Chains A and B, each alone.
Chain A
Amino acid sequence: AQSVSQHNHHVILSEAASLELGCNYSYGGTVNLFWYVQYPGQHLQLLLKYFSGDPLVKGIKGFEAEFIKSKFSFNLRKPSVQWSDTAEYFCAVNTNYGNNRLAFGKGNQVVVIP
């Protein structure tokens, strides 16, 4: 079964700072990778996804993530955060086999100080 690790559960930074959230997964086969965001009081929303092709994927709101297969990583980045990026960010993975179940990391609580 797949598992996902996210470190630095709480991240506090100032507006305009750069953000990078790490995500590592364990699974030997082909995976699909996702970052979801949960704004305060709202539901999980898809930020971006990687299925195949260019390992650098761009998502909504200026976020991007890079899939590095050799490192089993899919780190999320944003060059300049805004106060509105305050949210919880979840990395998730599934495979093309089985029933598409998602395995989530523990999440990163990001607080952006104006």
Chain B
Amino acid sequence: EPEVTQTPSHQVTQMGQEVILRCVPISNHLYFYWYRQILGQKVEFLVSFYNNEISEKSEIFDDQFSVERPDGSNFTLKIRSTKLEDSAMYFCASCGWGERYNEQFFGPGTRLTVL
């Protein structure tokens, strides 16, 4: 069964550094999402992406964050200048269309640690 994949599984970075988290959604899916989960807290929506543009973003998704789909397969989340509070598990998700529109498939996550 097709899966959403994410790399790396764990990223450690220094505060102020840029990080890029990578996701490969399921190949025929059209809608893409990033969520994050700070340790001990809820999974929170960050951004949704459709037709090569952001369709919705949360208040968490400020100017330090950006997303891109540079080719037909990858979907990336960039954090320009990381802060300690960006330490979290970041999940990518994708979904199809029609009947499959409401079912999001999640990747295994990238654990980001900012020191």
Contact = CB atoms under 8 A, between A and B. Distances in A.
Interface of A: 32, 36, 42-46, 49, 51, 90, 92, 94, 96, 98-107
A103 B93 CA distance: 13
Given A43-B107, A43-B108, A46-B103, A103 B56 contact: no
B45 A43 contact: no
B103 A43 contact: no
B75 interface: no
20 contacts: A32-B102, A42-B108, A44-B91, A44-B106, A45-B106, A46-B103, A49-B102, A99-B31, A99-B50, A100-B31, A100-B33, A100-B104, A101-B45, A101-B48, A101-B56, A101-B58, A102-B43, A102-B104, A103-B45, A107-B42
B102 A51 contact: yes
Contacts of B33: 100-102
Contacts of A102: 33, 35, 43, 45, 93, 104
Bin chain B's interface residue count.
20 to 34
A15 B86 CA distance: 38
Contacts of B101: 100
Contact of A104 (B43, B48, B107): B43
Name which of A44, A51, A98 has the most chain B CB atoms within 10 A of its CB: A44
Name which of A43, A49, A90, A92 has the most chain B CB atoms within 10 A of its CB: A43
Given A46-B103, A46-B105, A102-B35, 6 more contacts: A43-B4, A43-B106, A44-B106, A92-B43, A100-B102, A101-B48
A33 to B, nearest CB: 10
Name which of A46, A51, A101, A107 has the most chain B CB atoms within 10 A of its CB: A101
Contacts of A101: 33, 45, 48, 56, 58
